[in-house]
A and B are shown apart, each in its own frame.
Chain A
Amino acid sequence: MSAETLLDGRWRLHPQVALRPERFGALAYHYGTRRLSFLKSRRLLDVVEGLGAAPDPAAACRAAGVSDAELASYGRALATLAETGMIVPAEGAAEEVAA
Chain B
Amino acid sequence: MKLVDEFELGLDAPICITWELTYACNLACVHCLSSSGRRDPRELTTAEAKGVISQLQRMQVFYVNIGGGEPTVRRDFWELLDHAAEHGVGVKFSTNGSRIDAAAAARLAASDYVDVQVSIDGATAAVNDAVRGPGSFDTALGALERLAAAGFRKPKISVVVTRQNAGQLDDFKAIADRYGAQLRITRLRPSGRGADVWDEMHPTAEQQRSLYMWLLEHGDEVLTGDSFFHLSAYGEALPGLNLCGAGRVVCLIDPVGDVYACPFAIHDEFLAGNVREPRGFEGVWRDSELFTELRRPQSGGACESCGHYDACRGGCMAAKFFTGLPLDGPDPECALGHGEGLLAARGAEVAIPAPAVDHSRVKPSRLRNGTPERPPAKVCDENPLADFLTAEG
Contact = CB atoms under 8 A, between A and B. Distances in A.
A22 B6 CA distance: 10
Given A20-B13, A20-B62, A22-B11, A38 B112 contact: no
A80 B90 CA distance: 23
A45 to B, nearest CB: 13
A36 B14 CA distance: 13
Contacts of A32: 112
Contact of A24 (B3, B60, B62, B115): B3
Interface in B9-31: 11-13, 15-16
Nearest to A34: B115
Interface string B108-120: 0000110100000
B90 A31 contact: yes
Contacts of A29: 62-63, 90
Contact of A23 (B6, B16, B60): B6
Interface in A12-70: 16, 18, 20, 22-24, 27, 29, 31-32, 34, 36, 38, 40
B88 A16 contact: no
B112 A27 contact: no
A17 to B, nearest CB: 10
Chain A contact patch, size range: 10 to 19
Contacts of A38: 3
A7 B12 CA distance: 33
B182 to A, nearest CB: 10
A7 to B, nearest CB: 24
Contacts of A34: 63, 90, 92, 115
B60 A18 contact: yes
B113 A31 contact: yes
B134 to A, nearest CB: 33
Interface in B244-290: none
Contact of B112 (A22, A23, A24, A31): A31
A34 B88 CA distance: 12
Nearest to B12: A22
Contacts of B6: 22-24
B1 A24 contact: yes
A65 B106 CA distance: 48
A5 to B, nearest CB: 25
A76 to B, nearest CB: 17
Contacts of A27: 15, 62
Nearest to B154: A34
Contacts of B11: 22
A22 B113 CA distance: 24
Contacts of A22: 6, 11-12
A31 B88 CA distance: 9
B15 A36 contact: yes
B112 A18 contact: no
A40 B115 contact: no
A85 B60 CA distance: 20
A32 B1 CA distance: 30
A23 B295 CA distance: 15
Nearest to A22: B11
Nearest to A24: B6
A40 B16 CA distance: 18
Contacts of A24: 1, 3, 6
B3 A40 contact: yes
A84 to B, nearest CB: 13
A36 B3 contact: no
B239 to A, nearest CB: 13
Nearest to A17: B62
B92 A18 contact: no
Contacts of B15: 27, 36
B178 to A, nearest CB: 21
Contacts of B60: 18, 20
* A-B CB proximity, top 3 nearest: A29-B62, A20-B60, A24-B6
18 contacts: A18-B62, A20-B13, A20-B60, A20-B62, A22-B6, A22-B11, A22-B12, A24-B6, A27-B62, A29-B62, A31-B90, A31-B112, A31-B113, A34-B63, A34-B90, A34-B92, A36-B62, A40-B3
Given A18-B88, A31-B90, 6 more contacts: A18-B60, A24-B6, A29-B63, A34-B90, A36-B16, A40-B3
